[in-house]
A and B are shown apart, each in its own frame.
Chain A
């Protein structure tokens, strides 16, 4: 089975910190995605990548950046964390036609 691993299940960070969320997949998928999930808003796409060193903005990229130096790893970066970035962050990868998700990282910014 495809495995998508997010490095942390829970994180607590302070306002203004630079935060790295890591995601690794083990099935050589080209496409990888970062979403955030908030009550009442569902899943919103932050960034995605369809190849190494390629990145595309999703619907809510402001305050975030990404890095994809290797095919299996897709990192989400909060340049200066703010309280409104407290959320559940979900990483996914896909060949085409259906995602595999990681277990999520619940980030709290205090």
Chain B
């Protein structure tokens, strides 16, 4: 079945460091891919998405490119801030009728000032 694998955390970085969180997927067909973020005490928020191969999703300085050849959707940010500390979830959806989204297990990110 479809699945998402993302790097385990926690990831700890200093402010202004470069961030990469790896995500790979297994799916039949051409799913849409997402990154969600969960700040402490809150629900998940959609951070960015890409719906087809070579699409780049971007938001708040974060980027991820849909790589069909490597089945990957790695999240990157050039200069992280303390306020980026959160849990990040990679996810996919086959956009079938039921619209289910399959999530990775999440990566906790700590940014030190």
Query: Contact mask B59-102 → A, CB, 8 Å, 1/0?
Result: 00000000000000000000000000000010001010111110
B1 CB, nearest partner CB in chain A, Å = 10
B interface bracket (residues with beta carbon within 8 Å of A): 20 to 34
Q: Which residues of B contact A48 (CB under 8 A)?
A: 98, 100
- Is B27 on the interface with A (CB-CB < 8 A)? no
Contact A97 B43 (CB under 8 A): no
Contact B105 A40 (CB under 8 A): yes
Instruction: Out of A41, A56, A90, name the residue touching B44 (CB < 8 Å).
Output: A90
- Is A101 on the interface with B (CB-CB < 8 A)? yes
Q: Which residues of B contact A92 (CB under 8 A)?
A: 44
Q: Which residues of A contact B22 (CB under 8 A)?
A: none
Query: Contact mask A43-65 → B, CB, 8 Å, 1/0?
Result: 10100101000001010000000
Contact A50 B49 (CB under 8 A): no
Contact A103 B98 (CB under 8 A): no
A interface bracket (residues with beta carbon within 8 Å of B): 20 to 34
Complex formed: what's the CA distance from A58 to B32 in Å? 20
30 interchain pairs (CB within 8 A)? A31-B98, A31-B99, A33-B100, A33-B101, A41-B105, A42-B89, A42-B105, A43-B44, A43-B106, A45-B100, A48-B98, A48-B100, A50-B99, A90-B44, A96-B99, A97-B49, A97-B51, A97-B93, A98-B32, A98-B49, A98-B93, A99-B44, A99-B46, A101-B36, A101-B43, A101-B45, A103-B41, A103-B42, A103-B43, A104-B42
With A31-B99, A40-B105 known, 15 other A-B pairs at CB within 8 A are A31-B98, A42-B103, A42-B105, A43-B44, A43-B89, A43-B106, A45-B100, A50-B99, A58-B100, A94-B99, A96-B95, A97-B95, A98-B46, A101-B44, A103-B41
Give chain B's interface residues, CB within 8 Å of chain A: 32, 34, 36, 41-46, 49, 51, 89, 93, 95, 97-101, 103-106
